[in-house]
Amino acid sequence: MLNVVIFGPPGSGKGTQSENIIEKYNLAHISTGDLLRAEISGHTQLGTIAKSYIDKGDLVPDEIIIGMIDNKIESLAHTNGVIFDGFPRTEAQATALDELLHEHKAKVSVMVNLEVPKDELVERLLKRGEISGRSDDNLETIQKRISVYETQTKPVIDFYKKNGVYKPIKGVGSVQNIFVAISEAIDSVK
């Protein structure tokens, strides 16, 4: 299996680049943000809990996220591979992902980190908010999400550096040029 973690702060282009990667490498997609938003639209109990965190810009608790991923990986164990988008966001999640993949004799093949300066992130997310209708794409929540990224999510970089699968990519410029750099990183581990 080719398992790719696409990583970076909110607004770094993970969703956009995931679409390109899925098409080129024929991977299944797990976006924890999309899974949570589906729970919210379905008015499930999990959705109600998740919404209370998402609307504040906080992370949804690890147990909820890891449980969701566990269910998904089970169903995708026999695919070509998976792109993990917006997950893992904490060291506990990164450890859990390693364990879950290990149960299927698989591992994270590469972790692609999209590097984008903070000013650009805020600008992109505000612009997205005008069309996305996402309740968390407003200035106050955007700033909170970026600060949560800095404190809780950024340490995940060191986890993958230690694993030897870390690939930093400049996430500014044209979508196409960024995708070329991502493809080179993925091809280097295939």
Choosing from 118, 134, 144, 154, the catalytic residue is: 134
* Residue 124 bears catalytic tag: no
Query: Beta strand pairing status for 82-85 and 4-7?
Result: parallel
List C-alpha distances in Å: 58 to 30, 92, 164.
Answer: 20, 16, 29
For ligand AMP, the binding residue among 73, 86, 111, 159 (CB under 6 A) is 86
* Residue 118 bears catalytic tag: no
Q: Do 59 and 112 touch, CB atoms closer than 8 A? A: no
* Residue 134 bears catalytic tag: yes
List C-alpha distances in Å: 26 to 3, 16, 19, 23, 145.
Answer: 11, 15, 10, 5, 30
Choosing from 56, 128, 144, 154, the catalytic residue is: 128
Binding range to ligand AMP, per CB under 6 A, among 87-95, 104-112, 124-132, 154-162? 87-95
Choosing from 14, 51, 72, 167, the catalytic residue is: 14
CA angle 26, 21, 59 (to 5 degrees): 110
Cα–Cα distance, 141 to 136 (Å, whole number): 6
Taking CB under 6 A as the rule, which mask of x and - marks residues 120-159 in contact with ligand AMP? ----------------x--------x--------------
Taking CB under 6 A as the rule, which mask of x and - marks residues 22-61 in contact with ligand AMP? ----------xx--x----------------xx---xxx-
Cα–Cα distance, 148 to 143 (Å, whole number): 9
Longest CA pairwise span in the chain (Å):
43
Q: Please say which residue, 74 or 187, places its beta carbon nearer to ligand AMP.
A: 74
Cα–Cα distance, 78 to 151 (Å, whole number): 35
List residues with catalytic annotation.
Answer: 14, 89, 128, 134, 145
Binding site for ligand AMP (CB under 6 A): 10, 32-33, 36, 53-54, 58-60, 65, 86-87, 89, 93, 136, 145
